[in-house]
Structure 1
């Protein structure tokens, strides 16, 4: 029987950032990937410290941004690539009231390092009231991040390309098929609902669509534009526009109403011709209090869950992967705000 410190089940941000923690600390592991594209893998990759509806920030935003930059530098040391795109968000203002609110918020201690005081006017898109730049915002090269890391794990013989079979798990005996393990981390997103050990965790599916479009007039390459949704260039000459939020239409097909919503939203800011070339969707695992769910199984102390990253999957997945590692290996208590115990 092969023995390993950890089994990771999942292949989204939670799984790969936790795998990085294990690589960093020389822990042995294998990662089970079913090979389907997760919500993480079709995400926009937006790194944003500001809630752009109300111009507020969130818990530990600066700490999360700093930790992400350090972590991506560490990952670059073994993949040889930098996945951070310096493409700050430019938020199009709806009216003068939003401008005034932005200025007011930019002078507060909480937001002064994120909201740029100077407004910009963009060419090509409609922005009659100008735009505000979100400092320290960026994007992740999503497809390269996942393909490179999964390739790296495969070459190291740490990747198992198959669906995890819960029936083959002997939790008390610490074995799965022919693998003996110390701990299993389940990072399955909405797949957790099929997991008999953690199916009751309080995650709510939120379906998100985005479109890839061909624009007739180019927009600036080094920025991410936001009004209702995000607009930015992709590697293949197309532009990403999205994503929607839907808690009602949860079937596994494209919603034409969501596509229409995106086409209308883009038409509002982009007064030139464009063509929809691709439609994608995924199911974000969200939580009512907008905090991840991290914890240990009540009965089987070698089973853990890392889920509920929501729309901030990159920042949450990166930052709290360390919290989970320190909880397991060092006995450091989890923050009450993210511990699964808060729902008891």
Structure 2
């Protein structure tokens, strides 16, 4: 029987950023990975402090950006790789009203460090009303991040490449097969619906598609372009364009309507030929109040959940992994806006 501090179930952003907290604090752990492509692993990797539909920001945006940069530097010390891509977002304005709204919002105390007041004109793409640059925006090298960290975990004996069987968890003795654990953390995204301990939590699937395209005319390579969706270069001569949001069509197949939406969206500002080479989709775990769900099982006190990261999986996963670690290890209460207890209060 092997004694460990943590079993982590899942291998998306929540799981790996929490694993990072354990590495920093010299905790023993294993990560159970089914070796499937999670929603995290096919995500765009956009690091963005601004809601680009209405030009607003969100709770703790600056703190999350700062903490992510610090965490990625720490991760670089043991994987030997940097996954931070300095590729700022340029939002194409639809009309003059959007320009004026952007400038007005840039005076806002919360937004003045994010919304650049100097507009730009981009080559190749259609941007008749210019573009606004989102300061402090960037991208994560998603493929490199997952490959690098999972390889590190495997090399150090922290990775178990199999599905965890819930029925084999013995809660009375805190054992699972050959492991004696102090805590189990479930970071399963929409897979939580199959979890008998946390299937009740209020996460809903939001299906997102993206396409990978071959462009006939090259665009600036060091930026991310956004109109309806995001366009940026990948390492193999393709470009990523996406992703869509769909709460209705949640079957496990490609939706032609989503692909059509993406094709039309790209054609709006890219006036040249392009070929769709790949189509991908995943299911983001979302919550009505747009806050993660983090906390302890009401009966089994060493079972925990970290879920509901939504479309901001990188920022939420990174920042709130520290909150969860401090909650478990140091008895520091979770903020009521992210705690699973906010749902229990409703039931009371």
TM-score class normalised by the smaller sequence = over 0.9
Partner of 1:246: 246
Q: Give the SS at the match of 1:30.
A: strand
Q: Distance in 1 between matches of 2:224 and 2:70?
A: 22
TM-score (norm 1): 1.00
Partner of 2:293: 293
Consecutive unaligned residues of structure 2, counting only runs of 5 or more, are none
Q: Give the SS at the match of 1:282.
A: strand
Q: Distance in 1 between matches of 2:298 and 2:343?
A: 13
Partner of 1:168: 168
Give the C-alpha shift of residue 171 in structure 1: 1.4
1:11-90 aligned within 5 A: 11-90=11-90
- Alignment RMSD: 0.4
Q: Distance in 1 between matches of 2:109 and 2:199?
A: 41
Give the C-alpha shift of residue 108 in structure 1: 1.3
1:122-133 aligned within 5 A: 122-133=122-133
Deviations 1:100-136 (A, max 9, x none): 0000000111100000000000011110100000000
Give the C-alpha shift of residue 172 in structure 1: 2.1
Q: Distance in 1 between matches of 2:204 and 2:164?
A: 22
Q: Distance in 1 between matches of 2:64 and 2:88?
A: 17
Deviations 1:211-248 (A, max 9, x none): 00000000101110000000000001100000000001
Deviations 1:148-178 (A, max 9, x none): 1000000001100000100100112100011
Q: Give the SS at the match of 2:49.
A: coil
TM-score (norm 2): 0.98
Q: Distance in 2 between matches of 1:163 and 1:303?
A: 17
1:88-127 aligned within 5 A: 88-127=88-127
Deviations 1:230-283 (A, max 9, x none): 000000110000000000111111111100000000000100000000000000
Q: Give the SS at the match of 1:76.
A: helix
1:152-167 aligned within 5 A: 152-167=152-167
Determine whether 1:262 maps to 2:262. Answer: yes
Consecutive unaligned residues of structure 1, counting only runs of 5 or more, are none
Q: Distance in 2 between matches of 1:172 and 1:295?
A: 20
Q: Distance in 2 between matches of 1:110 and 1:155?
A: 43
Q: Distance in 2 between matches of 1:22 and 1:81?
A: 19
Q: Give the SS at the match of 2:321.
A: helix
1:179-194 aligned within 5 A: 179-194=179-194
